[in-house]
Amino acid sequence: MIGTDINHAAHLLKEGKLVAIPTETVYGLAGNALDEQAVTQIFAVKNRPTFDPLIVHTDSIHKVKKLVQQMPITALDLANHFWAGALTLLLPKRELIPDLVTSGSPLVAVRIPNHPLTLQLLSSLDFPLAAPSANPFGYISPTTAQHVEAQLGDKIPYIIDGGACILGLESTIVGFEGGIPTIYRKGGISIEAIEQVIGEVQVKEHSSSNPQAPGMLKSHYAPRIPLVLGDLVKLIQKNKRKRLGVLSFQKYHLGVPIHHQLILSKQGDMAEAAQNLFAAMRQLDTMDIDMIVAELLPERELGRAINDRLRRAAAH
Ligand code: TXA
Ligand code: MG
C-alpha cells in the first residue's frame, strides 16, 4: 500500500516490519537497524548479498553519537555542514549495531536524510532505520514511490509517498581511513562542496574484485537492456540497424525516433540531470529497443556522480 500515514509506518516498523521511505536522494527500504530479524528481511526482500552493508538513518547528531564510538572533528564539520543531507559518514560502530548491518565491519555508515516525512517518522522512533535503496539488488535505484511499488509492492506492507526525490542520486559516502577523509561513493553532494569544508580529500575508485569495498560492485544501477556509452552521433551512426534508445544530456539527435530519446536537462543543468537520471533509465528500460546509447556529462561537480552511475550501468 502507498500512502502518507506516518503513524501507520511507525507502527509497522515497531512491529519489525519493513516500510519504504522517501529521502531527498532515492527511496529507501527501511527496517529497525537494531533488530536483526528486520535487517535479515531487508536483505531478503532486495535479494541483496549480506556482504553489502546497510546505511543507518536517524534524525539528529545527538542520536548519531549513540550509534558510533567517536566522531573525528572533520566528520563533525561535515555533519554540521551537510546534515540533514546527502552525506553518509563511515564511523566506528558501537556494540548495539548488529554485525549484520555492517557486514561484519567495525565501521557503520550513518546518515540524516533530508525529507520532511522521513524526518518526522525518524523523530517518532526510538531506534534508527537501516535502509538500502528500495530496488532489487543491482537494478536502478527508485526515485518515486511508484518505482518502489512496481518492483517491491507485493513484498512490503507500506510505502510512504513523499513525491519524486529532489536530488535523485544516492548520498556521497565519506570515511576517514587512516585519518584521511576518503570518498567511497560519489553522490548527491559533490567532492568540490566537501573540499570547501574540510580541504582536500582522497577518492577510492570502485572495484569488482573487492566487493567489501563500499560503493561496491562495478556493475550496478543497471537497466536490463544493454547500455553503451560514448559519442552519441557516432554510436547512432554505428548502430543504424538496431532499435536504439537515446539518453542524452541536452539535445535530440537525428536518426532515432523522438519517442525513443530522453533528455536529462535541456538547459544543461546538472542538478536537473541528476534528478531525471534514474527515472529516464527506467523509462528506457521499458521501451521496445535493442540497446540504450548514452553520453557522459562534464566530469565535474554532480557530473562526476552522474557519470559514475552511467559507467556502472554500462558495465553490466
Ligand atoms: O542516498 C542513500 O545513501 C540511499 C538512501 C536510502 O539513504 N541509500 C543507499 O543505500 O544508497 P545502498 O544500500 O543502496 O548503498 C549503500 C552503500 C553500499 O554500496 C554499501 O556498500 C555502503 O553504502 N556501505 C554501507 N555500510 C557500509 C559500511 N559499514 N562500510 C562500508 N560501506 C558501507
Ligand atoms: Mg543501492
Return the ligand number nearest the Cα of 137. 2
Tell me the pLDDT tens digit for each residue of 151-174: 999 999 999 999 999 999 999 999
pLDDT on residue 207: 55
pLDDT on residue 210: 47
Going from the Cα of 270 to the center of ligand 2, the distance in angstroms, rounded, reads 21
Return the ligand number nearest the Cα of 135. 2
- The residues lining ligand 1, judged by C-beta closer than 6 Å to any ligand atom, are 23, 25-26, 28, 52-55, 88, 90, 102, 105, 107-109, 111, 113, 131-133, 170-171, 173, 214-216
Going from the Cα of 131 to the center of ligand 1, the distance in angstroms, rounded, reads 8
**pTM confidence score:** 0.96
User: Is 38:101 a contact under the CB 8 Å cutoff?
Assistant: no
- Roughly what angle, to the nearest 10 degrees, separates helices 191-198 and 73-82? 120
Closest approach atom of ligand 1 to CA 113: 7
Tell me the pLDDT tens digit for each residue of 30-85: 999 999 999 999 999 999 999 999 999 999 999 999 999 999 999 999 999 999 99
Going from the Cα of 25 to the center of ligand 2, the distance in angstroms, rounded, reads 11
Q: What percent of the chain has pLDDT over 70?
A: 95
Return the ligand number nearest the Cα of 220. 2
User: Is 30:57 a contact under the CB 8 Å cutoff?
Assistant: yes
Which residue in this structure is represented by grid cell 555492517?
A: 102
Going from the Cα of 18 to the center of ligand 2, the distance in angstroms, rounded, reads 16
User: Is 19:160 a contact under the CB 8 Å cutoff?
Assistant: yes
Radius of gyration of the chain (CA): 19
pLDDT on residue 209: 44
Contacts of 39 (CB under 8 A, 6+ apart): 31, 32, 33, 54, 98, 100, 101, 130
Distance of CA 39 to the CA centre of its chain: 18
Residues with CB under 5 Å of ion ligand 2 are 133
Closest approach atom of ligand 1 to CA 52: 21
Under-70 pLDDT residues of the chain: 206-219, 316
pLDDT on residue 220: 74
CA distance 112 to 280: 27
